[in-house]
């Protein structure tokens, strides 16, 4: 149980284009999902908290107009990186919270911007 | 501001050589301390949640303990498949369900 999927697992795009990443909880409903980014050999940094049916809450320093988050249902949240640039290249990981204390993480999406 | 510090940054072990990883934390109102395992190119995999000082939890060769200032992850007689990065995270009372992660400890177990 508690499986979270992400799609795509990796994506390469040209600078200036937008990329959408999906995060799905497969066997539970998640009122809250979280989006993290992770640079090589570094830990996870929380970008935003996504609540179903409401606007996302962004961490300090994260541009909300650049990283658009939509939590359309209790099993799906999407992160769109708009006008991506090489410095946005990173490993993006989502987690889903089914209630209780534990978050369950997706397998991550590797984004490379050329 | 909640802070989590893990040490060492990296650890090389021979198969069967037991060791401990440290996670020290400074938070306002700890609600839970979490240990995750992360393999390269993958998302974190949940291991343990600890809630109060004195609590211990075990899973196979791993044992997690918690005091008021730090947590330890003991790896007993590790095998090469225990090689991974181990992440510690805290959930504080004022932060809702957000997790604050430490920098992780990269463990390499050589056969």
User: Residues A85-114, buried b or exposed e (16+ Cβ, 10 A)?
Assistant: eeebbbbbbbbbbbeeebbbbbbbbebebe
- The answer to whether the Cβ–Cβ distance between B44 and A4 falls below 8 Å is no
Nearest chain B alpha carbon to A92: B43
Per the structure block, which two tokens stand in for B104? Answer: 């992780």
Average pLDDT, stretch B86-93?
92
Mutating which of A32, A41, A44 best tests the B interface, going by the most B Cβ atoms within 10 A? A44
Q: Please tell me the predicted confidence (pLDDT) of residue B95.
A: 66
Please, are residues A44 and B101 in contact by the beta-carbon 8 Å criterion?
yes
- The answer to whether the Cβ–Cβ distance between A102 and B102 falls below 8 Å is no
- The answer to whether the Cβ–Cβ distance between A43 and B101 falls below 8 Å is yes
DSSP symbol at A9: S
Q: Which residues 67-96 in chain A show a CB within 8 A of chain B?
A: 91, 93, 95
- The answer to whether the Cβ–Cβ distance between A103 and B101 falls below 8 Å is no
Q: Please tell me the predicted confidence (pLDDT) of residue A7.
A: 97
Nearest chain A alpha carbon to B51: A101
| Cα gap A8→A56, rounded to integer Å | 21
- The answer to whether the Cβ–Cβ distance between B32 and A4 falls below 8 Å is no
Per the structure block, which two tokens stand in for A62? Answer: 């994260």
C-alpha distances in angstroms, A79 versus A20, A24, A56, A113, B106? 6, 12, 11, 16, 28
Residue B94 banded pLDDT, cuts 50, 70, 90: low
- Phi, then psi, of B54 in degrees rounded to 5: 95, -15
- The answer to whether the Cβ–Cβ distance between B98 and A44 falls below 8 Å is no
| Chain segment A78-104, per-residue pLDDT in tens | 999 999 999 999 999 999 998 877 889
Nearest chain B alpha carbon to A2: B46
| Cα gap B33→B37, rounded to integer Å | 14
Please, are residues B60 and B16 in contact by the beta-carbon 8 Å criterion?
no
Residue A45 banded pLDDT, cuts 50, 70, 90: very high
- Kindly state the percentage of chain B with pLDDT values over 70: 98
C-alpha distances in angstroms, A39 versus A87, A91, A112, B102? 10, 6, 12, 14
């Amino acid at each position: 149980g508690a499986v979270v999927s992400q799609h795509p697992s990796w994506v390469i795009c040209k600078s200036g284009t937008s990329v959408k990443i999906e995060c799905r909880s497969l066997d539970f409903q998640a009122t809250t999902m979280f989006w993290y980014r992770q640079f090589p050999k570094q830990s996870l940094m929380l970008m935003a908290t996504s609540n179903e049916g409401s606007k996302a809450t962004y961490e300090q320093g994260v541009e909300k107009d650049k990283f658009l988050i939509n939590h359309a249902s209790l099993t799906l949240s999407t992160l769109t990186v708009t006008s991506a640039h090489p410095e946005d290249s990173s490993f993006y990981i989502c987690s889903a919270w089914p209630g209780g204390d534990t978050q369950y993480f997706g397998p991550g999406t590797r984004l490379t911007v050329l | 501001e909640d802070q989590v510090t893990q040490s060492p940054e990296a650890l090389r072990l021979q198969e069967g050589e037991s060791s401990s990883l440290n996670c020290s934390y400074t938070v306002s109102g700890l609600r839970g301390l979490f240990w995750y395992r992360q393999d390269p190119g993958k998302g974190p995999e949940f291991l343990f949640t600890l809630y109060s000082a004195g609590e211990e939890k075990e899973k196979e060769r791993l044992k997690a303990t918690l005091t008021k200032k730090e947590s330890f992850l003991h790896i007993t007689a590790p095998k090469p498949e225990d090689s991974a990065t181990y992440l510690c995270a805290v959930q504080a009372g004022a932060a809702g369900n957000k997790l604050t992660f430490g920098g992780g400890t990269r463990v390499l177990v050589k056969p």
